[in-house]
Structure 1
Amino acid sequence: MGLRVLFVDDETRILEGLKRMLRPFRKEWSLSFAKDGREALEILEKETFDVIVSDMRMPGIDGAELLSTVREKYPDMVRIILSGQSDQEKIIRSVGPSHQFLSKPSDPQEIRKTIQSIRVFKELFKEETLARIVGGLSSLPSLPSLYTEVMEKVNSPTASLADVGEAISKDPGMTAQILKLVNSAYFGLSQEVTSPAVAVNLLGLNTVTSLILTVQVFQELSPELLRRFKLDLLGDKSLLVAKLARQIALEETGEKKAADEAYTAGLLADCGKVILASGFPERYGKVVEAAGGDCLWAVEEEEEEFGVSHGPIGAYLMELWGLPGPVVAAIAFHHHPGKARQEEFSALTAVHAAACLEREVGSMGEDEDGPGREGGDGEAGASFLDMEYLDGLGLSGKVEHWRELVEEQVQACAEEA
């Protein structure tokens, strides 16, 4: 069956225009149209859809309210705002319930590309429950310490964009939300933004404050999950991998854009673990138990339990939220980079190397009772590096140099602790 898409707009001429523009896709998609939010909800009660694309400004039930209801009742549906709306307050209202924001008028090929790229990751899920859990998310919970730090910065009378940006860039959940908004069509930027600090600067302090205090798209991790799965350690590891990936990318390319992509991908690489731990705590508890109590490197156990690991799960959410392609690919394939079929150095390469080498170097200092599954003999990371992938890129000779960079960074972090 083709993809089922519901378009909602109160302007008849807009709906007629969409029907004409999207006619070439009728062999791929089953298209339906509703003239307002109320009719859309009536249709949804009778039929099943994969995607809903709604105008923002409509009488009665507007786009934000409609998509909020859809998120609650049909969380696995992809939710897209298609609007020429320029009211910042209304746009910010749509951040939570919508996955992406596209401008109107929009190129039909852009709509097709957006929907198809999301579908690729969704098809990796063997369980419908996973798609519902991920699709229903409006935020990724943050570590309490980082959440508190950002709140203090925002509420400070001397708050600066630089201070807020630095604080947000330490946290995967906040970084993802900021990049989701700044890369939306609302801002119409000529190039994608991958640096959370740059994103905060572009959004401005008032918008960031509204996101935090008014819309409340940032949330804290529950203390119970934090303790049970040691997610504070996961947060520390994610930040370290992000820094290492950025350093490796700078060494290899000398380009800030590549370094920013690598940093953000490294920071978000394990966000799928947070999704699994919070959405399926009992089942993820079994995963961690099977991995010897180690949630940091339980890829095979995740695949055994859920049919897919945290990489594609996190990537699906980031694709839903419209984050840049190189970042999404790195999150999806950082444990299996050969599956991405890339032929040159990328954020994926940097994150894969950083994560594996951090694992190797970190395990060297562990005793036999430590969390490393290789008994602390220093071989864990080496066994996970995909040397065939690195050989194919002509980069296997760089591994020792990268290892030295990782050792220096790990040592520096240990001294700071």
Structure 2
Amino acid sequence: MDVPPVIEDSRSSSRRILFVADDPHLHRFLRQLMEPLEEEWRPHYSRGGPEALRQLEDGPYAIIMADVRLAAGFCQELLLQARQQTPQTVRIVLAGPGDQDLLLRVLPLVQRILSKPCDPAELYATLQRTQSLRELLRSPSVMTVVGRLGQIPTLSTLYSRIADELMKPDYSLAKVGELVSQDPGIAAKLLQVANSALIGLRRPATTPAQAVRVLGGELTRTLVLAADLFSRYSPAQLKPFCIDQLWEHSQSVATLAGRIAQHERLDERNTRDSTLAGLFHDIGQLLLASQLPETYREVFHLVRRENMSLAKAEHQVFGATHAEVGAYLLGLWGLPDPLVEAVAWHHIPEQCPGTTVSPLTTVHAAEALLSEREGERPHIDYLERLGLDDHWERWQELSRKAEAVSREVPIK
């Protein structure tokens, strides 16, 4: 099998990978998979959780890839230690069809999930996409804009408490519902989302506890994060930027991206990430407009005066776009990489390596469809690379149906 080239990087730590598996067959299989890549990467191997914990002291590693079935529950402890010691390390787990319960416990700590047994092409593509995303988010232009921000939002206490609850072996959705109820603003936003076309509940939820029972813990956790971000700012302070309009647009993109994912028969995880990425795809706008309001007004002037796209105007004023800034924030918070890359590249998907349909594909298509009246079109070269260039008319029909549903179920 041809091994795809991996982008060069002079920093040796960015090439170090720690593979952790106490299953001797998986351990040997991973070594064989990495042999063709040893000139580009620096693989290290551990035969179990305790040994891997010791090896973390020799870090930093660019990537840690661990079997979710590590003995004695060491996978969760290993990922937790890695996040605490080197938050920039990408945490990947290998999981099989029967590992759902184990996977649920570590999901708050994981950025990518690979199927087990691991397909060589999938592994190589994952390394390439991970490296490309890290290079984008650490580029000088993005770091310059981030450096100008007065304050980068931190994870809320509520989000952290929900994440902690979900990592318990005997976690309780009732407890998660109680936690959400403690913040009226976030609870109201969560109910709005749960009862909108975005989620499509058969029966409307009237309390946070009901919403949580239907949504499940993981979806609730990420929706709380979105609701918290949109609840932090006063609309009057952000004018001419309209936070309510952004919230409505984000929900519309999320709804349509999820439907495209279902139409393309993506698995449950990618369908969920498509929806969530749609909800977060323009979060960088909120960050720039709230932290650099005067400069962001220059962006609006360029859009109106020069008839320029928002992303192009942002790049001219800041040297980076809201997509990159938003992805930086989500990466900082440790959200899953497929979600982060969908935010980062949703305007320029052809710059993301890979040939498979992903949340990036669905979010890019959804935003293009919803902006079609303004002349927005998808990047055809990207769709051709994925073999989807003839899917556009089908997606247009999905968009028309989603618009009809949104008129029946108002998005507030």
TM-score, structure 1 as length reference: 0.55
Give me the CA root mean square deviation: 5.8
Query: How far does the alpha carbon of each residue in 1:69-89 deviate from its partner, in whole angstroms, 9 at most, with x for none?
Result: 322332222111124483543
Distance 1:30 1:70, change over 3 A: same
**Alignment counterpart, residue 233 of structure 2, candidates 225, 235, 238:** 225
**Equivalent residue letter for 1:147:** L
Residue 123 of structure 1 aligns to a residue in which SS?
Answer: helix
Q: Distance in 2 between matches of 1:303 and 1:275?
A: 13
> Aligned pair 1:4/2:20, yes or no?
no
Q: Distance in 1 between matches of 2:362 and 2:115?
A: 28
**Equivalent residue letter for 2:201:** D
After the TM superposition, which of the residue ranges 229-238 and 303-312 deviates more from structure 2?
303-312
- Alignment correspondent of 1:36: 48
After the TM superposition, which of the residue ranges 38-47 and 115-124 deviates more from structure 2?
38-47
Q: CA deviation at 1:8?
A: 1.6
Q: Quick check: 1:6–1:32 contact (8 Å CA) kept in 2? A: yes
**Alignment counterpart, residue 65 of structure 2, candidates 53, 56, 63:** 53
* Number of residue pairs matched by the alignment: 328
- Alignment correspondent of 1:274: 283
- Alignment correspondent of 1:148: 191
> Aligned pair 1:321/2:346, yes or no?
no
- Alignment correspondent of 2:117: 105
Distance 1:302 1:35, change over 3 A: farther
- Alignment correspondent of 1:163: 201
Q: Quick check: 2:79–2:91 contact (8 Å CA) kept in 1? A: yes
- Alignment correspondent of 1:290: 298
Map 1:11-410 to 2 at 5 A. Answer: 11-12=23-24, 14-59=26-71, 62-84=74-96, 86-125=98-137, 126-127=139-140, 145-149=188-192, 163=201, 208-211=215-218, 218-219=224-225, 220-222=227-229, 223-225=231-233, 227=235, 230-241=242-253, 256-257=263-264, 268-269=277-278, 271-274=280-283, 277=286, 283-285=291-293, 287-292=295-300, 298-300=310-312, 302-303=314-315, 307-312=319-324, 321=336, 323=338, 334-336=346-348, 350-351=365-366, 353-357=368-372, 381=374, 385=376
Residue 16 of structure 2 aligns to a residue in which SS?
Answer: strand
**Equivalent residue letter for 1:81:** V
**Equivalent residue letter for 2:280:** C
After the TM superposition, which of the residue ranges 20-29 and 312-321 deviates more from structure 2?
312-321
- Alignment correspondent of 1:195: none
Distance 1:55 1:46, change over 3 A: same
Q: Distance in 2 between matches of 1:99 and 1:411?
A: 32
Residue 57 of structure 2 aligns to a residue in which SS?
Answer: helix
Q: Distance in 1 between matches of 2:378 and 2:28?
A: 54
Query: How far does the alpha carbon of each residue in 1:151-198 deviate from its partner, in whole angstroms, 9 at most, with x for none?
Result: 799xxxxxxx9617998xxxxxxxxxxxxxxxxxxxxxxxxxxxxxxx
Q: Distance in 1 between matches of 2:132 and 2:19?
A: 21
Percent same amino acid at aligned positions?
23
Instruction: Could you tell me which runs of 5 or more consecutive residues in structure 2 were left unpaired when the two chains were aligned.
Output: 1-9, 147-151, 164-179, 206-210, 304-308, 355-360
Q: Quick check: 1:338–1:389 contact (8 Å CA) kept in 2? A: no
Distance 1:267 1:237, change over 3 A: farther
Instruction: Could you tell me which runs of 5 or more consecutive residues in structure 1 were left unpaired when the two chains were aligned.
Output: 154-160, 168-199, 250-254, 361-380
Q: Distance in 1 between matches of 2:252 and 2:410?
A: 14
Looking at both structures, which has the greater relative contact order when contacts are Cα pairs under 8 Å and sequence separation is at least 6? Answer: 2
